[in-house]
């Protein structure tokens, strides 16, 4: 926390600690997981839209209903196999996970 005059200025991390819970707590891990799931869903949605596919069309390619695609894109029902099926259905031949300084790991 930094003080500027009478105002207290908190970093993003400090606000997360105060509002959601300290890093490593169950509450914070649940929150972080929801954020990650949301971001994955957004990546699937952006890719689908870039390929000019409707949710219905992606559902047909994956063998699921449009409602399931809507859930996936909103960050619900996200599993590793769902991620793989979605991106493979949209034509991804390979995928890797960027671990920063630890390098990249091939997912498929």
pLDDT at 107: 87
pLDDT at 108: 84
pLDDT at 31: 96
On whether residue 59 sits in a domain, the answer given is yes
- Number of domains into which the chain is organized: 1
Closest CA to 52 of 93, 91, 95: 91
On whether residue 9 sits in a domain, the answer given is no
Whether pTM exceeds 0.75: yes
Per the CB < 8 A criterion, the answer to whether 42 and 84 are in contact is: no
On whether residue 92 sits in a domain, the answer given is yes
What is the span of the domain harbouring residue 54?
26-106
* Cα 75 off chain centre by: 7
Cα–Cα distance list, 42 to 18, 67, 74 (Å): 27, 16, 7
Given a cut of 50, the residues of the chain with pLDDT beneath it are none
CATH number for the domain harbouring residue 85:
1.10.260.40
On whether residue 18 sits in a domain, the answer given is no
Q: How many CB atoms lie within 10 A of CB 29?
A: 13
On whether residue 50 sits in a domain, the answer given is yes
On whether residue 3 sits in a domain, the answer given is no
pLDDT at 3: 87
pLDDT at 56: 99
How far apart CA 13 and CA 44 sit, in angstroms, is 27
């Amino acid at each position: 926390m930094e003080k500027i005059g009478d105002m207290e200025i908190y970093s993003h991390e400090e606000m997360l600690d105060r509002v959601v819970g300290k890093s490593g707590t169950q509450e914070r891990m649940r929150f972080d997981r929801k954020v990650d799931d949301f971001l994955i869903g957004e990546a699937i949605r952006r890719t689908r839209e870039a390929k000019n596919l409707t949710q219905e069309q992606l559902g047909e390619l994956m063998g699921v209903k449009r409602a399931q695609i809507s859930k996936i894109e909103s960050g619900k029902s996200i599993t590793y196999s769902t991620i793989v099926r979605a991106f493979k259905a949209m034509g991804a031949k390979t995928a890797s996970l960027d671990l920063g300084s630890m390098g990249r790991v091939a997912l498929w």
